[in-house]
Amino acid sequence: MSGLFGVISKSDCSEFLIYGTDYHTHMGSEYGGLAVLDKDFSRYIHKMSNANFRDRFFENIKELKITKGIGCISDLDEQPIYIKSNLGDFCIVTTGRIENIKELSESLMKTGVCFTEFSKDCVNMTEVIARIVTSSSSIVEGIKKAFQKIKGSCSLLILSREGLYAARDYYGRTSLILGKNQDSIAVCSETCAFTNLGYKIIRDLNPGEIVLINQDEIKTLYHGEKQKKICAFLWIYTGFPASDYEGINSEIVREKCGKALAKRDKDIKADFVAGVPDSGIAHAIGYAMESKLPFRRALVKYTPTYGRSYTPPSQFLRDLTAKMKLVPIKEIVNGNSLVILEDSIVRGTQLKNFTVEKLWNCGAKEIHVRPACPPLMFPCLYCNATRTNSELVTRRAIKEIEGKEIENIDKYLDYTTPQYAKMIEWIRKDLNITSLKYQTLEDMIEAIGLPEQDLCTFCWDGKGCKGCENETV
Asked if 338 contacts 366 with a C-beta cutoff of 8 angstroms, the reply is yes
| Tens of pLDDT, residues 40-74 | 999 999 988 767 788 888 778 777 789 999 999 99
Q: Is the peptide bond before 80 cis (omega within 30 degrees of 0)?
A: yes
pLDDT the model gives residue 302:
83
Of 34, 35, 33, 38, give the one whose Cα is nearest residue 66.
Answer: 38
The confidence band for 471, taking pLDDT boundaries of 50, 70 and 90, is: very low
CA neighbor of 144 nearest in space, from 92, 210, 214, 85 = 210
The per-residue pLDDT for 232 is 96
Average pLDDT over residues 304-316: 50
Q: CA separation (Å) from 244 to 16, 188, 190, 276, 462?
A: 19, 11, 7, 22, 26
CB atoms within 10 A of CB 371: 26
Structure confidence at residue 175 as a pLDDT band (50, 70, 90): very high
pLDDT (0 to 100) of residue 266 = 86
Dihedral, 209, 171, 308, 315 alpha carbons, nearest 10: -130
In order, the DSSP letters of 57-117 are: HHHHHTT---SEEEEEEESS---PEEEEETTEEEEEEEEEEETTHHHHHHHHHHTT-----
466 has a pLDDT exceeding 60: no
Distance in angstroms (rounded) separating the CA atoms of residues 98 and 384:
9
Residue range 165-191: mean pLDDT, rounded:
96
- Mean pLDDT, range 196-208, rounded to an integer: 97
Average pLDDT over residues 236-261: 97
Distance separating alpha carbons of residues 204 and 209, to the nearest angstrom: 10
Average pLDDT value for residue range 164-168: 98
The Cα–Cα gap between 287 and 289 comes to 5
Q: Give residues with Cβ within 8 angstroms of 249, minimum separation 6.
A: 242, 243
pLDDT for 55: 80
Q: Is a pLDDT exceeding 70 seen at residue 104?
A: yes
The residue-averaged pLDDT of 79-108 equals: 92
Interval 459-464 mean pLDDT: 88
What is the spatial distance between Cα 385 and Cα 311, in angstroms, rounded to a whole number? 9
Higher pLDDT, 5 or 463: 5
**Residues 388, 394, 399, 405, CA torsion sign:** negative
Residue 278, SS3 per DSSP: coil
User: How would you label 442-461 residue by residue, b for 16+ Cβ within 10 Å and e otherwise?
Assistant: ebbbebbebeeebbbbbbbe
pLDDT at residue 244 greater than cutoff 90: yes
Is residue 372 helix, strand or coil?
coil
- Max intra-chain CA distance, the chain: 70
β-strands 366-371, 435-436 pairing? parallel
Residues 106-139 have pLDDT tens digits of 888 888 777 776 666 678 899 999 999 999 999 9
**What pLDDT, on a 0 to 100 scale, did the predictor assign at position 95?**
95
CB neighbours (10 Å) of residue 49? 11
pLDDT of residue 462: 93
- Judge contact between 33 and 70, C-beta under 8 A: no
Taking the C-alpha atoms of 190, 457, 355 and 419 in order, what is their torsion angle to the nearest 10 degrees?
A: 180
What's the CA gap between 375 and 358, in Å, rounded? 23
Determine the average pLDDT of the residues in 325-331.
93
- Residues above pLDDT 70, as percent of the chain: 91
Contact 297/274 with Cβ under 8 angstroms?
yes
pLDDT for residue 384 is more than 70:
no
The answer to whether the CB of 393 falls within 8 A of the CB of 430 is yes
Ramachandran sector of residue 432 (left: φ over 0; alpha: ψ -120 to 50; beta: rest): left
- pLDDT tens string 214-234: 998 999 999 998 889 999 999
From residue 116, give the alpha-carbon distance in Å to each of 81, 105, 131, 157: 10, 12, 11, 20
What one-letter code names the amino acid at 58? F
Cα(307)–Cα(3) distance, rounded to whole angstroms?
A: 15
Indicate the Cα dihedral angle 426, 432, 435, 440, nearest 10°. Answer: -50
Domains and CATH numbers, the chain: 2-226 (3.60.20.10), 249-451 (3.40.50.2020)
Give CA–CA dist 358/370, Å, rounded.
17
What confidence score (pLDDT) does residue 75 get? 81
Range in 44-53, 125-134, 191-200, 337-346 with the lowest mean pLDDT? 44-53
Cβ-proximal residues to 287 (8 Å cutoff; 6+ apart), any chain: 258, 259, 261, 262, 265, 273, 293, 339, 341, 370
Task: Give the pLDDT of residue 343.
Answer: 96
Q: What is the mean pLDDT of residues 427-435?
A: 98
Phi, psi of 221 (to 5 degrees): -100, -25
Q: What is the pLDDT of residue 183?
A: 93
For residue range 313-327, list pLDDT tens digits in order.
555 555 556 667 899
Average pLDDT along the chain: 90
Residue type, position 358, single letter: K
